[in-house]
């Protein structure tokens, strides 16, 4: 964040930059392999009793 001093961790700026670059590359690889998932759910189906032979709630 601009205007804020980082916490003192004893890490040089070069090491911090290398770690950040590594994390960003790993995140890019992981997110590139994620597929989209869209779920469509019938809300009334949530109220059906399992094993019940009826046509719907009630």
Q: Tell me: the pLDDT tens digits for 18-53? A: 999 999 999 999 888 877 778 888 888 888 877 766
Structural domain includes residue 7 = no
CA–CA separation, 3 and 1 (whole Å): 6
Structural domain includes residue 40 = yes
pLDDT above 80 for 8:
no
Structural domain includes residue 2 = no
Q: What is the pLDDT of residue 21?
A: 97
Domain tally, the chain: 1
Let me know: does 25 contact 17? Beta carbons within 8 Å. Answer: no
Q: What is the pLDDT of residue 20?
A: 96
Let me know: does 43 contact 57? Beta carbons within 8 Å. Answer: no
Structural domain includes residue 17 = yes
Residue 21 is part of which domain span? Answer: 13-47
Structural domain includes residue 19 = yes
Q: What is the pLDDT of residue 2?
A: 58
pLDDT above 90 for 17:
yes
Q: What is the pLDDT of residue 48?
A: 80
Structural domain includes residue 1 = no
């Amino acid at each position: 964040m601009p205007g804020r001093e980082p916490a003192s961790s004893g890490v040089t700026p070069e090491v911090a930059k290398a770690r950040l670059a590594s994390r960003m590359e790993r995140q890019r690889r992981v997110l590139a392999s994620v597929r989209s998932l869209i779920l469509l759910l019938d809300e009334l189906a949530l109220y059906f009793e399992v094993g019940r032979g009826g046509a719907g709630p009630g």
